[in-house]
Amino acid sequence: MTNYPISIRPFGVHAILVEWPKKIDEAILEDILQFSSYLKLECLNTKEWELVSAYNSLTLIQRKQRIDFEPFKKQLETWYRNREGAHHSDKYLWKLPVCYDLDFAIDIAEVAIELGESVEKIIELHTSHIYTVYGIGFLPGFMYLGGLPKSLMTSRRAEPRQKVAKGAVGLAGRQTGIYPQESPGGWNIIGNCSVPIFDANREEPCFVNVGDKIQFYAISRAEYKLHKIEGEVGIYQFEKIKLDA
């Protein structure tokens, strides 16, 4: 196990920010997640602490108490050195259905022109890659996905839309992702995912965790409609594959 040079800094009086080298790197993400699960399982009372990981950082947030920074920093450094052997939570590959029908994929024709490819090729490229969840934030259930191939890199829309539909699948720069609720947005919309990533009424409101993988697969309009009806009664059509640790 690599010991990364981590930096530990105060973030107000109720939070502490731990940072790894500034890189988008699966090995770093893995180290952050292992440390995070070690802290949750062995070190911190999770009723009092929240841990938010994203890309190269882990933020520890105390619910009410002020953190005594210097001693806590020393303690964290010790915990980091001792983290070896900690269990880490299971990771999954989620195969999520996306309808790339032109009714949803309102920008796919423009994207195809920008990239000099056919619409079919765009769909093939988008569904053939596996993306890593580097963070969840911005909106409930919004996943920051890494691993978009260069061949799908596009510019953002010049003018953001006031309303992007819930479930819209977008491309922008090196990112792809799903809008978990209706919101303003500047990404190019190439489809719509029929399964809600976040639903406050589910026992587990957001099934995806940071560190999981995502792959999209194309579905027809008819399948999309069926999934929506199934979703209303609590049946969700996606495939979940456990990844080896």
Q: Quick one: 180 or 191, whose CB is closer to other proteins?
A: 180
Q: Tell whether residue 94 is a contact of other proteins (CB under 8 A).
A: no
- Nearest distance in Å: CB 101, other proteins: 25
Q: Tell whether residue 101 is a contact of other proteins (CB under 8 A).
A: no
Closest CA to 237 of 28, 245, 220: 220
Q: Tell whether residue 160 is a contact of other proteins (CB under 8 A).
A: no
Single out the residue of 55, 94, 104, 216 in contact with other proteins (rule: CB under 8 A). 55
Interaction mask 200-219, other proteins, x per CB under 8 A: x----xx--xx---------
Q: Quick one: 217 or 236, whose CB is closer to other proteins?
A: 236
* Total residues in contact with other proteins, by rule CB under 8 A: 41
Q: Tell whether residue 226 is a contact of other proteins (CB under 8 A).
A: no
Closest CA to 213 of 88, 89, 94, 36: 94
Q: Quick one: 209 or 237, whose CB is closer to other proteins?
A: 209
- Nearest distance in Å: CB 5, other proteins: 16
Q: Tell whether residue 12 is a contact of other proteins (CB under 8 A).
A: yes
Count CB neighbours of 217 within 10 A: 14
Taking CB under 8 A as the criterion, which residues in 168-207 touch other proteins?
Answer: 180-181, 198, 200, 205-206
Q: Tell whether residue 138 is a contact of other proteins (CB under 8 A).
A: yes
Options 18-26, 120-128, 153-161, 234-242: segment touching other proteins (CB under 8 A) = 18-26
Dist. CA 22–CA 19, nearest whole Å: 8
- Nearest distance in Å: CB 52, other proteins: 4
DSSP characters over the chain: ------EEEEETTTEEEEE--SS--HHHHHHHHHHHHHIIIII--TTTEEEEEETTEEEEEESSSPP-HHHHHHHHHHHHHH-TT-----EEEEEEEEE--TTT-TTHHHHHHHHT--HHHHHHHHHHS-EEEEEE-SSTT-EEEE---GGG-BPPPSS-EEEE-TTEEEEEBTEEEE-SSSEEE-SEEEEEESS-SB-TTSSSSB---TT-EEEEEEE-HHHHHHHHHHHHTT----EEEEEP-
Options 94-102, 115-123, 129-137, 220-228: segment touching other proteins (CB under 8 A) = 129-137
- Binding stretches for other proteins (CB under 8 A): 9-15, 17, 19, 22, 24, 46, 50-57, 59, 61, 63, 134-142, 144, 180-181, 198, 200, 205-206, 209-210
